[in-house]
Amino acid sequence: MKPIEKAIKTHALTKGEIITLLNIQDASLLYEAADRVRRESVGDGVHLRGLIEISTVCKQNCLYCGLRRDNKKIFRSRMTPKEIINHAQAAAKAGYMTIVLQGGEEDGFGADKMAGVIKGIKRLGLAVTLSLGEKSFEEYSLYRQAGADRYLLRIETTDKTLYEKLDPGMSFENRLRCLKDLGRLGYEVGSGFMVGLPGQSVDSIADDILFLKALPAHMAGIGPFIANPDTPLANCGKDNFDLSLKAMAVIRLLMPNINIPATTAMETLRPDGRFTALKSGANVIMPNVGGDMSEYYRLYPGKAKAGEVKEYRAELEKKLKAIGRFIDEGPGISKAYIAEDKK
């Protein structure tokens, strides 16, 4: 049986078969298959997550990231709890059901204050997703008790040597510990990886895909690596869109019930990148609802903008309709998570 047919039937592939799919020249059949599996498994609804980038301060120094502490060209800023809640309130009014709080890895908020912010957003009736990096078990636990529903922590790459080279001072084992802790605490866990990192092989991307399946991730975000001119990897740029899209489509075939975002980085590389992703297995979009902070939150250059919260949502609704999709009005819980019966 050919790998695509096998994946549609069994949702399982060997590492060799995944590598074959990542290497195919014309991937149109792969994208069609991923779109079909997406439709049959999670339907035509697209979940919107309102993204609030709460801080551009980071104590880490990842070589690929514009927020790295050694980057002196970035404006560092941190929202106040009140500002965060206000943005969440505006998003709720515009019809968003989930808020994602994303920021550099830092301790400036203080755990108790952050727990207060989570409680404040929960009072608005919204689901809360956090993307705040590596924390202790106790801090993850505090946020969970405060009401946080989901946590996003990408593994970035499962190649330990490459990971520790690109994220100096960080340990691969601690990354794994964090993901394990999040699962133990009952979070809906989102993970993912970057595609096209200098020194990363297709073989290694196949390992990344199998890692997400084994975790298991309830959501998987695949980000094409985009070289940021203010980082040590400034000159390592190449177009990683196609390989990222193939990796994403393979993930949909292997993990039919998870949520897969059409990432902003994809939109940055292609004018309609997010819609191409939605037609190749993705079912989530994370528009920015955090106002001006997104101007400074430059993980990579040329980041696609979302515009005004209400208007952008209306515009999205129209565009989704044109491709036979619609905005799902529910909280967007991953079907894979529901199947584990953790709630």
Among 3, 50, 133, 281, binds ligand SF4 (CB under 6 A): 133
The residue among 67 and 115 lying less far from ligand SF4, judged by its C-beta, is 67
Q: Which is nearer to ligand SF4, 70 or 340 (CB)?
A: 70
Amino acid at residue number 308 = E
Residues within window 29-88 making contact with ligand SF4, judged by CB under 6 A: 58, 60, 62, 65, 67-68
Q: Which residues contact 12 (CB under 8 A, 6 or more apart)?
A: 6, 254
| Residue 126: HSE in the Cβ half-sphere, 13 Å Cα cutoff | 29
- Looking up tokens 């998570």, which residue turns up? 337
Check: CB of residue 284 under 8 Å from CB of residue 261: yes
Give residues 135-164 in contact with ligand SF4 (rule: CB under 6 A). Answer: none
Measured from the CB atom, the residue of 65 and 128 that comes closer to ligand SF4 is 65
Give the shortest CB-308-to-ligand SF4 separation in angstroms: 26
Return the number of the residue (135 or 325) whose C-beta is nearest ligand SF4. Answer: 135
Are the beta carbons of 300 and 227 closer than 8 angstroms?
yes
Toward ligand SF4, which CB reaches closer, 187 or 225? 225
The HSE-up count of residue 32 (CA atoms within 13 Å, CB side) is 6
Exposed / middle / buried, residue 328 (Cβ in 10 Å: 0-12, 13-18, 19+): middle
Select 257 or 288, whichever has its Cβ closest to ligand SF4.
288
Which residue type occupies 185?
A: L
CB of 49 to ligand SF4, least distance (A): 18
Nearest approach in angstroms of CB 300 to ligand SF4 is 10
DSSP, collapsed to helix, strand or coil, labels residue 254 as: helix
Minimum distance from residue 56 beta carbon to ligand SF4 (Å): 9
In the 8-state DSSP scheme, what is residue 305?
P
The CB-of-106 to ligand SF4 minimum distance in angstroms stands at 8
How far the first Cα of the chain sits from its last, in Å, is 38
Q: Which of 32, 83, 105, 242 binds ligand SF4 (CB under 6 A)?
A: 105
Closest separation in Å from C-beta 341 to ligand SF4: 32
Gap between the Cα atoms of 165 and 3, Å rounded: 33
Number of residues that bind ligand SF4 (CB under 6 A): 9
Mask of contacts with ligand SF4, 184-203, x by CB under 6 A? Answer: --------------------
Beta strands in the chain (DSSP E): 45-48, 50-55, 98-103, 127-131, 150-152, 188-195, 219-224, 284-285, 326-327
For residue 218, the minimal CB distance to ligand SF4 (Å) is 21
| φ/ψ bin of 110: left (φ > 0), alpha (ψ from -120 to 50), beta (otherwise) | left
Q: Cβ of residue 320: shortest distance to ligand SF4, in angstroms?
A: 30
Q: Is 130 in the site for ligand SF4 (CB under 6 A)?
A: no
Q: Binding residues for ligand SF4, per CB under 6 A?
A: 58, 60, 62, 65, 67-68, 104-105, 133
